[in-house]
Structure 1
Amino acid sequence: MLLERLRRLLPGLWAGMLLCIAAIAAPAAFALLERPVAGQVVGWLFQREAWTSVVLAVLLLAIERSRARAAAATGQGSVLSTEILLLLGTVFCTVAGYFALQPLMAAARAGQGALSFGQLHFISVGFFVAKLLCILALAWRAAGARR
Structure 2
Amino acid sequence: MPPVATRLTALLAGLWAGLLLCIATIATPAPFATLATADAGRVVGRIFAVEAYVSLALALVLFLLERAAARRRASVGEGSAFSADLVLVLGALFCTVLGYFALQPMMAAARVGQGRWSFGALHAVSFALFGLKGLLVLALAWRRTGAGWPPARHDVTPPPFA
The reply to whether TM is greater than 0.5 is yes
| Corresponding residue for residue 149 of structure 2 | none
Matched residues in 1 for 2:112 and 2:4: separation? 48
Q: Could you tell me which runs of 5 or more consecutive residues in structure 1 were left unpaired when the two chains were aligned.
A: none
Matched residues in 2 for 1:54 and 1:7: separation? 15
| Corresponding residue for residue 52 of structure 2 | 50
After superposition, residues 63-142 of structure 1 pair within 5 angstroms as: 63-142=65-144
Aligned residue for 2:117, secondary structure, equals: coil
Q: Could you tell me which runs of 5 or more consecutive residues in structure 2 were left unpaired when the two chains were aligned.
A: 147-151, 157-162
Matched residues in 1 for 2:46 and 2:4: separation? 32
Q: What's the offset of the Cα at 1:5?
A: 1.7
| Corresponding residue for residue 9 of structure 1 | 11
Matched residues in 1 for 2:141 and 2:125: separation? 24
| Corresponding residue for residue 25 of structure 1 | 27
Matched residues in 2 for 1:26 and 1:131: separation? 16
**What do residues 86-141 of structure 1 show as CA deviations (whole Å, max 9, x unaligned)?**
01101110000000000000000010011110000000001001100100000010
Count of paired positions = 147
**What do residues 44-83 of structure 1 show as CA deviations (whole Å, max 9, x unaligned)?**
0000000000000000000011100000001101100001
| 8 A Cα contact 2:31 2:43, kept in partner | yes
Q: What's the offset of the Cα at 1:8?
A: 1.1
Matched residues in 2 for 1:89 and 1:40: separation? 27
Give aligned-pair identity as a percent: 55
- Runs of 4+ with deviation above 6 angstroms: none
Aligned residue for 2:81, secondary structure, equals: coil
- What TM-score do the two structures reach when normalised by structure 2? 0.89
Whose radius of gyration is greater, 1 or 2?
A: 2
| Corresponding residue for residue 159 of structure 2 | none
